[in-house]
Amino acid sequence: MPTPDYVRQIALSFPETTEQPHFDKTSFRVGKKIFATLNAPQQRATLKLSAQDQDLFTIYDPTIVYAVPNKWGKQGWTQIDLTRVPEEMLTDALAAAYCEVAPAKLADAIRAQRKDSEDEES
């Protein structure tokens, strides 16, 4: 089970990411754009995904990964239950969220890095 510290560690590992308060949550931003928020007391992360990524991640189990149930969900905001999501899936979702809002140069670097890691594993 990924902890809030794990979410923080992965989110801050992406280039030019900052951690800032966002209402009663912690946000992770690249530039001024939020790609994830962390609600540690509720063991939940909320990520900004593309419509395609949101569809892919929610297929796993819509009780663990699900669109925010309002207009924000239609814009890609997706909640993840940290008590039940596999670490690898959370890591992939955080990377996808980062790439969704990061400048192209930074997003392309993360995509290339992740592709190289996948190639090494196969």
At residue 79, the pLDDT reads 98
- Give the Cα separation of 16 and 60 in Å (integer): 30
pTM of the entire structure? 0.94
Reported as a single tens digit per residue, the pLDDT across 77-107 is 999 999 999 999 999 999 999 999 999 999 9
Q: What is the CATH number of domain 4-115?
A: 3.90.1150.30
Reported as a single tens digit per residue, the pLDDT across 22-34 is 999 999 999 999 9
Pairing of strands 17-22, 65-67: unpaired
